[in-house]
Structure 1
């Protein structure tokens, strides 16, 4: 089954993403910050099909989460989508040579999200911007 891990400290945003993806046939796990997400990834009996993370969060932000995932699972085969706003565009430089890390611009269209994940599933490429 397709499984996505959503990492966002805003429950209302996570709820909309969760409902959208569940309606499209995805199983969804939500983590309120990067630390909780990392703990889930370490303990989970399944590997997610994709991770979608906000960048600005308490405890462990999206950038730190991505860097930790890269360090602990260098051979991961699932994409990570980082949600950014226009004001956070300068944050993109840190991605550098990281594999399969893509950006999704907020506000995020639910249809674009579903289409992006479906495209990634088929092609392995998912760098779309709405």
Structure 2
């Protein structure tokens, strides 16, 4: 299995540093971005297995980034974890409206994040393999 890639997006350098180090210690490949525009540029270079984004950021917010990422890469089945210190119900509901998206409340400990990712990847390993795509019958051309 190849190394799992995480894209971590937050406008707080300390949060990026702490979470990146914790994830790299667990063997994940981590790319960081400070806003949604930078995150989309990173995704154009390498699609993540998981996108972890703060909601409130300068520039393109996480609330704008997450739907944009889904629209731009509709066939890429990445998990989105949105982080915020806001506990308003509308923030939680917004995150639940996007497919394969979950809400994480800040402050988020590195241990909590690692545990959440471990559960996600363990569930993927247990999921049945997708059915093979229909392939046309081979033809012999003389």
Structure 1 residues 15-44: Cα deviation after superposition (integer angstroms, max 9, x where no partner): 0000100111111100000010011112x1
* Counterpart Cα distance in 1 of 2:112 and 2:95: 22
Large movers: runs of 4+ above 4 Å: none
Which residue in 1 is equivalent to 2:132?
none
State how 1:66-85 maps to structure 2 within 5 Å.
66-85=66-85
Structure 1 residues 107-130: Cα deviation after superposition (integer angstroms, max 9, x where no partner): 112111001001101114xxxxxx
Say what the alpha-carbon RMSD is for the aligned residues: 1.4
TM value normalised by structure 2? 0.80
Which residue in 2 is equivalent to 1:105?
105
Which residue in 1 is equivalent to 2:32?
30
* Counterpart Cα distance in 1 of 2:97 and 2:109: 27
In structure 2, list runs of 5 or more residues that go unmatched: 125-142
TM value normalised by structure 1? 0.87
State how 1:1-130 maps to structure 2 within 5 Å.
1-42=3-44, 44=45, 46-124=46-124
